[in-house]
Copies of this chain bind each other. A is one copy, B any other.
Amino acid sequence: MARVGLTTERLVRAGAELADEVGFDQVTVSELARRFDVKVASLYSHLKNSQDLKTKIALLALEELADRAADALAGRAGKDALAAFANVYRDYAREHPGRYAAAQTRLDPATAAASAGVRHAQMTRAILRGYDLTEPDQTHAVRLLGSVFHGYVSLEMGGGFSHSAPDTQETWSRILEALDALLRHWPAP
């Protein structure tokens, strides 16, 4: 009965990899057990249940994303910061589709408040400091940016833009330019 050395940490990391390979909603405690060559029930010493696993994968993804975004923002401002930030999301989603999907799962308010999600909101606000917006327009703009980034990435990954000219990279660049222009000339109500 050799011990494998399971920990919540290792399980969550493996779960994240599994998500990237087979899709977040195909992540299953059983498959995870199989990968560690261990019986399913053994995982329940480290995880409360299946939902717990998924939540922890989501939190991991949010952390990784926030870390990357913070890195990308360092030393940048204005359109430069905007593009760097946006590209972090898009690149992360492409590299880690399962983790990205995980990051979109609805968390209960308490968990969300303690997650890296708040860093994301702060960083978006930081970017907007490079533009001339005051409250409440800044909040409107935060929400717009979140919508565009999330919406674009999820449509692109879902194949919504597939196989049609012009290519999506071109569209992405033009959208970032358009957003920059919009933020520089944000219309009065």
- List residues of A whose CB falls within 8 A of some B CB: 25, 104, 106, 109, 112, 136-137, 139-140, 143-144, 146-152, 154-155, 158-166, 168, 170-171, 174-175, 177-178, 181-182, 185-187, 189
- Chain B residues contacting A171 (CB-CB under 8 Å) are 139-140, 143-144
Docked complex Cα distance between A109 and B163 (Å): 10
- Chain B residues contacting A106 (CB-CB under 8 Å) are 158-159
In the complex, what residue of chain B is closest to A136 when comparing beta carbons? Answer: B166
The secondary-structure label for the interface of chain A is helix
- Chain B residues contacting A158 (CB-CB under 8 Å) are 104, 106
Known contacts A148-B148, A149-B151, A150-B155, A161 near B143 by CB under 8 Å: yes
Which residue of B146, B165, B186 contacts A160 across the interface (Cβ within 8 Å)?
Answer: B146
| 7 A-B contacts (beta carbon < 8 Å) | A109-B163, A136-B166, A136-B170, A143-B155, A146-B160, A150-B151, A178-B186
Tell which of A109, A151, A171 has the most Cβ of chain B within 10 Å: A151
